[in-house]
Chains A and B, each alone.
Chain A
Amino acid sequence: MSTAAQTDTAHAAGTNYLNATKGLKSWIFTLDHKRIGIMYLISILLFFLVGGLLALGVRAHLFSPEGATGMSNDTYNQAFTLHGAIMTFLFIVPSIPASIGNFFLPLMLGAKDVAFPKLNLASYHLYFLGALFFIATIVFTGLDTGWTFYAPFSTDRAMNGVILATSGAFILGFSSILTGVNFIVTIHKLRAPGLTWRRLPLFVWSLYATSIIYVLATPVVGITLLLLIIERAFGVGIFDPALGGDPVLFQHFFWFYSHPVVYVMILPAFGVISELVTIHSRKHIFGYNAIAVSSIAIAFIGFLVWGHHMFVSGQSGLSAAVFSFLTFLVAVPTAIKVFSWVATMYKGSIVYNTPMLYTFSFLFLFSIGGLTGLFLGALATDVHLHDTYFVVAHFHYVMMGSVFIGFLGAIHHWWPKMTGRMYNETLGRIACGLVFVGFNVTFFTQFVLGTQGMPRRYATYHEVGDIEPQLLEMFTLLHQISTIGSFIMAAGLFLILFYLLASVFKGDKAPDNPWGGLSLEWATASPPIEHNFEGQPVVRRGPYEFPEIDPMIK
C-alpha cells in the first residue's frame, strides 16, 4: 500500500512524528496514535482551563456569605453544574488514558500503532463533537441540574440545556467505548515478541483495567442518558413519578456507570504512579503481581458498589448495608497498591525531581482522599455528612488531588519523550509546591466545613437554617481560606502552563532516555519517529529490572 513508501522515507535523519507531515489537515485526519494523543492532551487541558475558571468563579462567590461576586443564584447554579459536567465528561474521564495512554500504549508495547487507528481517530472526532454540544449548552441555553442530571428535576423544571448536555455526554460515551475496545485489543494482539503479560509496564495493566470499565460501564450511562433525553423530549414517563415512572431508577442507572467510572479516572493515575515511583526511586517495583491484579480487582468490585451514592435515596436498609460492606471491600486492593508504592521507595535511591514530587503529593493526597471515603461508606456517618462540603472535599481529594496530580506527574515524566524538550526543573518544583499547598488549603478546610454542617451547592450561606452567629463566622472564615487556597493553586497551574509552553520553544533538547527507564517507550528517539521504532523491538526482561540494583534484590 501507499504507506509502505512512507515508512522508508520517515527513517531519514531528523524526522519524527511531529515534523513528518505538515499542515492542519495532517493533524485533524491523522491516524498516528501519537498525534491523536497530543490532540487529546491539548483539548483536555483546554477544557480543564474552562472548568477551572468556572471553579474559581464559584470559589470567589463564596468568599462572603451573601455572595461576593454579585452573580445571581441561577448563575451560580450554572457555574457549579458546568464546572462539574465539564471536568467530569470532558476532562477527567478521558484525561490520562486518551492523552498519555494513546501516546504511550503502543510505544510501551513495541507496536507501530493501536489495533484500530481509524477507530482511534473516530474516538477523537466524537470527543470533539461531544465537546461542541457542551459549548452549545453554555452559549445558547444553560444547565443547572448539577453534573448528575437527577430526575425528576432534569425531566421538567431544569433549564433547557439538559438535552444538549446529555446528548454531548452520550456522544462522549461512544468515544470512551471505542477507546476502550481499541486499547484492549491492542494489549492482547500487538505486544512485541518477548513482552509477556508479566513483563507489561504497570501503566499498561492499569489501562487494561480502565478499558474494561470503559467498555462495560459506559453503555449503561449511554442508555440512561438516552432514556433521559426521550423522557425530557416526549414525556414518556420512565423517570417521571407524575406519569408513573421511578426517579430512583435513574439514580441506580446513573451510578451503575458513574461509580465504576470513578475507577476509570483513578486507575490510570495508579498506573502512572507505579511507573514514576519505581523509575525515580531506581528500585524494582514491590509487588508487581499484586499491583497488576489489584487494578483488575478494583475494576471488578467497582461494579458492585454504586448504591453507596444512594444511602439516603430511599433504598432498603439491607441493600444499603450490603453496598456499604462492598464499598469497604474496595479499600483492600487500593491499600495493597499504596503499601506497595511505599515499599518500593524503601531503600531506593530516590531522586527528588518534579515527577517524584508529584508522586509524593499523590501518595499524601490520595491517602487522605481514600481514607475519608470510608467515612462516607459507613452508613451512620454518611447520613450526617451526605450532601455537605465533606463530600466535596473527599471527591476533590480523590479526583483532583489524586487523578489530576497523577496526570501532572505523567505529563512531567513523559514530556521529554512527547516533545523532545526538557522543562525548567526549578520552576517545576516550585509549581508543584504551589499546587500542593494551594490544594490542601482549598480542600482540607472543606472537610471541616462539611463536618460543621455546611451543605454543598449553596450559592449563599448567610441564611442556612437558623444559623448561629458564631457558626456563620466560622463558615465565612473557612470559605475565605478555601478561596485563597484555590487562587494559590491556580497560580501554580498557570506557572506550569507557562514553563511547559516555554520549553517547547526554548527548552533543552531531551535525550532519548532522561530518567533511565527500561520500558520500550524509552528505547526510541525523543520525540519518537513516525512509526515508533526502527524495526521490531524484542523484550528480554521485565520493565523495572534496573541493572544497578539487580544483585541487591535477588
Chain B
Amino acid sequence: MSTAHAHGGHHHPFHAHHFETLPQQEASARMGMWLFLGQELLFFSAVFVAFFVFQYMYPEGFLEAHRTLSIPLGTLNTLVLLTSSLTMALAVRNAQLGDNKGVVKQLGFTIALATVFMIVKYFEYSGKIEKGQLPGQWYTYEGLPEGASIFFTMYFVMTGLHGLHIVIGIGVLAWILIRATKNQFSAEYYAPVENVGLYWHLVDLIWIFLFPFLYLIE
C-alpha cells in the first residue's frame, strides 16, 4: 500500500488508468474470468462427448476396462481435491479481510494438496503403464473386450488434460502466494486471489464429473 503514496494521488497501486474506479476494474476482471471458465467448460465438453460416443460404441469394453480402475485411489484424490477447494475458499476469505498471512497459509495448503493429487495420479499412471493398459497402438493388456484400448485412450486424455490444469493451477497458486507475501491484497483489491480461486474450483468441478464417469458408474 505504501507505494501508492509514493506515486501521489489517490490511485491504488494496481488501479489501471483506463478504469474509472477500482471496483469497476475488479468487476471486469471477475467477468473476464467467468468468460474464460466458460470456454474451459466447452474445451472439456468435447472430450466428455467423445467419451460417451465411444462408450456407446463399445459398451462392454468400457464396462470391463473401467472396472480395472482403483476406486480407493480415485476416492482419495476426490477427497484431496475437495479439501483443496476448501483451503482455496479460505484463502479468498482471508484476502477479502486483508489478512495476507492467512492467504499465504491457505494457499500453501492448497498447493500441498494439489501436489498430493499429482503424486496419487503418478502411482495410478505407473500401474497402468506397467500392465500395458495404454491408449490405442500402445495397448498390450490382455483379457478385456474390444474397445478397452479406446477406454484407456479416453482415460489418459481426460485425466491428462485435467492433470495439466492442476499443474498450471499450482503455477498460478504459487504466483498469488508470492504476491500475498508482499502484502498486495486488501479488502478493496483481491480479484487476483478470487479469480485463481474460481479457476481452482473449476478444475475441482471437472474432477467431480471425471470421477463418477470413469471410476464409479457401471
Q: What residues of chain A have their CB less than 8 Å away from a CB belonging to chain B?
A: 1-4, 7, 111-113, 115-117, 119, 177, 180-182, 184-185, 188-190, 215-220, 222-224, 227, 230-231, 234-238, 240, 243-246, 249, 253, 256, 536
* Contact B135–A253 (Cβ < 8 Å): no
Which residues in window 83-130 of B have CB below 8 A to A?
none
Residue with the highest number of chain B CB atoms closer than 10 Å, among A181, A231, A256, A536: A181
* Contact B147–A244 (Cβ < 8 Å): yes
> CA of A224 to CA of B157 in the docked complex: distance in angstroms?
12
* Contact A244–B146 (Cβ < 8 Å): yes
Apart from A244-B147, A249-B53, what are 15 other A-B pairs with CB-CB below 8 Å? A1-B7, A1-B11, A117-B18, A181-B36, A185-B28, A189-B28, A216-B42, A219-B39, A223-B44, A234-B136, A235-B137, A235-B138, A238-B153, A243-B137, A536-B20
* Contact B136–A237 (Cβ < 8 Å): yes
From residue B26, how far is it (CB to closest CB) to chain A in Å? 10
* A215 and B46 in contact, given A1-B11, A238-B157, A244-B150 (Cβ under 8 angstroms): no
From residue B147, how far is it (CB to closest CB) to chain A in Å? 6
B40 within 8 A of A: yes
* Contact B43–A220 (Cβ < 8 Å): yes
Q: Mark B14-58, 1 if CB is under 8 A from A, else 0.
A: 011111100010011001100110111011111101100110011
B133 within 8 A of A: no
* A7 and B149 in contact, given A189-B27, A227-B157 (Cβ under 8 angstroms): no
Q: Which residues of B contact A227 (CB under 8 A)?
A: 46-47, 50, 157
Instruction: Please name the residue on chain B nearest to A216 by beta carbon.
Output: B42
> CA of A354 to CA of B58 in the docked complex: distance in angstroms?
60
> CA of A119 to CA of B33 in the docked complex: distance in angstroms?
12
Partner of B153, one of A219, A223, A236, A249: A236
B212 within 8 A of A: no
From residue A75, how far is it (CB to closest CB) to chain B in Å? 32
B9 within 8 A of A: yes
Partner of A253, one of B35, B46, B156: B46
Shortest beta-carbon contacts, A-B, top 5? A237-B136, A219-B43, A236-B135, A112-B18, A236-B136
Q: Which residues of B contact A219 (CB under 8 A)?
A: 39-40, 42-43, 46
Chain B interface main SS type: helix
> CA of A4 to CA of B15 in the docked complex: distance in angstroms?
11
Q: Which residues of A contact B50 (CB under 8 A)?
A: 227, 238, 249, 253
* Contact A237–B53 (Cβ < 8 Å): no
> CA of A115 to CA of B29 in the docked complex: distance in angstroms?
8
* Contact B43–A245 (Cβ < 8 Å): no
B13 within 8 A of A: yes
From residue A270, how far is it (CB to closest CB) to chain B in Å? 22
From residue B88, how far is it (CB to closest CB) to chain A in Å? 22
* Contact B135–A237 (Cβ < 8 Å): yes
* Contact A185–B157 (Cβ < 8 Å): no
From residue B142, how far is it (CB to closest CB) to chain A in Å? 16
Q: Which residues of A contact B157 (CB under 8 A)?
A: 227, 230, 236, 238
From residue B54, how far is it (CB to closest CB) to chain A in Å? 7
> CA of A230 to CA of B31 in the docked complex: distance in angstroms?
33
* Contact B38–A216 (Cβ < 8 Å): yes
From residue B210, how far is it (CB to closest CB) to chain A in Å? 15
Instruction: Please name the residue on chain B nearest to A239 by beta carbon.
Output: B50
Q: Mark B67-94, 1 if CB is under 8 A from A, else 0.
A: 0000000000000000000000000000
Q: Which residues of B contact A115 (CB under 8 A)?
A: 18, 28, 32
From residue B36, how far is it (CB to closest CB) to chain A in Å? 6
From residue B215, how far is it (CB to closest CB) to chain A in Å? 20
* Contact A190–B149 (Cβ < 8 Å): no
> CA of A449 to CA of B103 in the docked complex: distance in angstroms?
68
> CA of A235 to CA of B9 in the docked complex: distance in angstroms?
60
Q: Which residues of A contact B150 (CB under 8 A)?
A: 237-238, 243-245
Instruction: Please name the residue on chain B nearest to A176 by beta carbon.
Output: B39
> CA of A184 to CA of B153 in the docked complex: distance in angstroms?
36
> CA of A235 to CA of B47 in the docked complex: distance in angstroms?
17
* Contact B31–A188 (Cβ < 8 Å): yes
* Contact A223–B46 (Cβ < 8 Å): yes
Instruction: Please name the residue on chain A nearest to B7 by beta carbon.
Output: A1
> CA of A322 to CA of B33 in the docked complex: distance in angstroms?
35
* Contact A4–B46 (Cβ < 8 Å): no
Instruction: Please name the residue on chain A nearest to B43 by beta carbon.
Output: A219
> CA of A181 to CA of B37 in the docked complex: distance in angstroms?
10
> CA of A121 to CA of B168 in the docked complex: distance in angstroms?
21
* Contact B40–A215 (Cβ < 8 Å): no
Q: Which residues of A contact B7 (CB under 8 A)?
A: 1-2, 4
* Contact B43–A116 (Cβ < 8 Å): no
Partner of B46, one of A117, A190, A224, A235: A224
From residue A93, how far is it (CB to closest CB) to chain B in Å? 15
* A4 and B17 in contact, given A181-B36, A182-B32, A236-B153 (Cβ under 8 angstroms): yes
Partner of A223, one of B13, B28, B43, B53: B43
From residue A221, how far is it (CB to closest CB) to chain B in Å? 9
Instruction: Please name the residue on chain B nearest to A237 by beta carbon.
Output: B136
Instruction: Please name the residue on chain B nearest to A222 by beta carbon.
Output: B43
